[in-house]
Homo-oligomer: A and B are copies of this chain.
Amino acid sequence: MTLDLSEYITQVNVALNEYLPKRAGYFKTIYDAMHYSLEAGGKRIRPILMQLCYEVVGGKESIDAYLCGIEMIHTYSLIHDDLPAMDNDDYRRGKLTNHKVFGEAVAILAGDGLLTEAFHIMLGDALAHGGIERLHAAYLLSEASGVEGMIGGQVLDMESENKEIDLETLNMIHLNKTGALIAAATKMGAILGGGSAREISLLEAYGKYIGKVFQIVDDILDATSTMEELGKPIGSDVENHKNTYLRFYSIEECYQIAEDLTQKAVALLNQIDGDTKILEQIAMELIKRRN
């Protein structure tokens, strides 16, 4: 059976357009710039993981505000990462990057806007609903995307360019730069759905394992795939003298590590009562992905 997430992708896309409608008038430019990157064909893996974990623990209401929140924060981070002062990438997912279309100044502000509106949307929802879970979820996202999470990992990654770093530092980069947001997605879903402490902990750990798989496969793909497959120039990590797992392991060893982590992630899911079939399939697919 192949994994079909199109229903979930549609849910996320509909929610994004509802929570962040297009605008004419004074604020047209900034909305256009934010939408351009939101619509650039992301896989929506973070909000999908959140929704699935929410369902696994029995959540039944809409958590669209938080699905949008995490995808908007992920998208802002890509816009800023692509800037000339950072990775200086012209293409992302086969499309021109935000600053190539709107200019650097608007791209910086579109990133700021997505980050700010993510909280605006989540906190508006938390206010309307009351209860502690939704506020807790927004708090977790602020933590995972902050300076001791995604942003800190990005700074550490930049500082490590052209340097010989040890494996511990590389793991620290990955844990924070990409891992924190993926683990936040699964944990937020479990909390929003009213999961038990044990369920929350298991699903968060699942997120950490697959987040690491995601990063290892990213490193492999950057070194081996074609531009057509990847939608951005290949080998840009090497060109930017980034540290990747391939500096420490062969491709075969990388796949073995990713395989072990995937097995651990699946073993965690087996300890949960709810239906974790799709989460299991996602873990298995991540290691096979080609873009």
Contacts and interface: CB of A to CB of B under 8 A. Distances in A.
Interface of A: 26-27, 29-31, 34, 76, 80, 83, 85-86, 103-106, 108-109, 111-113, 115-117, 119-120, 123-124, 126-127, 130, 132, 135-136, 138-139, 142-143, 145-148, 151-152, 154-156, 158-159, 169, 172
Contacts of A104: 85
Contacts of A83: 105, 108
Given A29-B159, A85-B108, 15 more contacts: A26-B156, A27-B147, A30-B155, A83-B105, A109-B154, A111-B112, A112-B151, A113-B152, A116-B151, A117-B147, A119-B138, A120-B139, A123-B138, A123-B139, A127-B135
- Secondary structure call for the A interface: helix
Contacts of A158: 105-106
A135 B134 CA distance: 11
A151 B113 contact: yes
25 contacts: A27-B147, A30-B152, A76-B112, A80-B109, A83-B105, A83-B108, A85-B105, A106-B155, A106-B158, A108-B108, A109-B151, A109-B155, A112-B112, A113-B151, A115-B115, A116-B142, A116-B147, A119-B138, A120-B143, A123-B139, A123-B142, A126-B135, A127-B132, A127-B135, A127-B139
